[in-house]
Amino acid sequence: MALFNKNKEKFSLNDIILPEHIGIIMDGNGRWAKKRGLPRTAGHTAGAQTFRRIARYCSDIGIKYLTVYAFSTENWKRPKEEVDAIMKLFKEYMIEAISDFQDDSIVVKFIGDRTVFPPDMLELIEKNEQDSKDRDGMVLNIAMNYGGRDEIVNAVKTIAQDVKDGKLDVSDINAQLISDSIYTKGQPDPDLIIRPSGEYRTSNFLLWQSAYSEYCIMDVLWPDFKSEHLDKALIEYAKRNRRFGGI
């Protein structure tokens, strides 16, 4: 997409401040399928294709961290057929990412409670992480069986155990310690969170990390989301005045 500044002059993404970390809630797959008279699973298949394109685009334009919300701790409530279809898409993607990303710079990580996944999935998760860990490009966090509350509960348990074991004092507990006890340890908080499909909700996504994230709610369903939509969100983000509680 051609980008223009307020004087209607053409400019590139190099001319604006880009977020270091983007989070995306990949929402609207079901509605996209329904609009076309297709099963919801067709929406997820289309959504997985969008994910591939947008992850590549973010890496190409120099985004350092991208976190996508692929499956929440609450999504197990969906019909078995739909859950199975989403798990199949994850598996296909993980197999593909191992070979496709071989000459790539992308670092693949998974955030969420992975203990529930069967051994073959776990093996693919670990292989993707292991193979990509020394690369120097964009970190792609795929949130699978992820819940923001669950993440905070786990951090609290770990810290409480450390206090009980005498490894920590209650006075050592601060915001930094919590940031260091969650899945995104060592990563910057998301600067921008994009939610397509027009819903105004966080849906348990990066609750701790999003304290000062800028939200961009977009009226497009995830399977229809194009690089142009991302550009639009980036331009919107560049215009925001981030104060982090200051003035």
User: Is residue 90 within the footprint of ligand FPP (CB under 6 A)?
Assistant: yes
Q: Which residues are catalytic?
A: 27, 75
Q: Which of 65, 93, 101, 110 binds ligand FPP (CB under 6 A)?
A: 93
Candidates 82-90, 114-122, 153-161, 184-192 — which segment interacts with ligand FPP by CB under 6 A? 82-90
- CA dihedral sign, ordered 209, 211, 216, 217: positive
Residue 47 or 190: which CB sits closer to ligand FPP? Answer: 47
3-state SS string for 118-183: CHHHHHHHHHHHHHHCCCCCCEEEEEEEECHHHHHHHHHHHHHHHHHCCCCCHHHCCHHHHHCCCC
Binding mask 4-33 for ligand FPP (x = CB under 6 A): ----------------------xxxxxx--
Q: Which has the closest alpha carbon to 231: 12, 8, 10, 9?
A: 12
The least CB distance from residue 145 to ligand FPP, in Å, is: 11
User: Is residue 66 within the footprint of ligand FPP (CB under 6 A)?
Assistant: no
- CA dihedral sign, ordered 49, 66, 19, 242: positive
Candidates 7-15, 40-48, 152-160, 179-187 — which segment interacts with ligand FPP by CB under 6 A? 40-48
* Residue corresponding to tokens 């197990």: 76
* Polymer length of the chain: 247
Distance CA 52, CA 50 (A): 5
Candidates 4-12, 85-93, 162-170, 212-220 — which segment interacts with ligand FPP by CB under 6 A? 85-93
Residue 26 or 138: which CB sits closer to ligand FPP? Answer: 26
Enter the tokens of residue 45: 């298949």
Determine how many CB atoms are found less than 10 A away from the CB of residue 44.
Answer: 23
Residue 31 or 240: which CB sits closer to ligand FPP? Answer: 31
User: Is residue 48 within the footprint of ligand FPP (CB under 6 A)?
Assistant: yes
Q: Which of 22, 24, 63, 89 binds ligand FPP (CB under 6 A)?
A: 89
Residues contributing to the site for ligand FPP (CB under 6 A): 26-31, 44, 47-48, 51, 70-71, 75, 86, 89-90, 93, 142
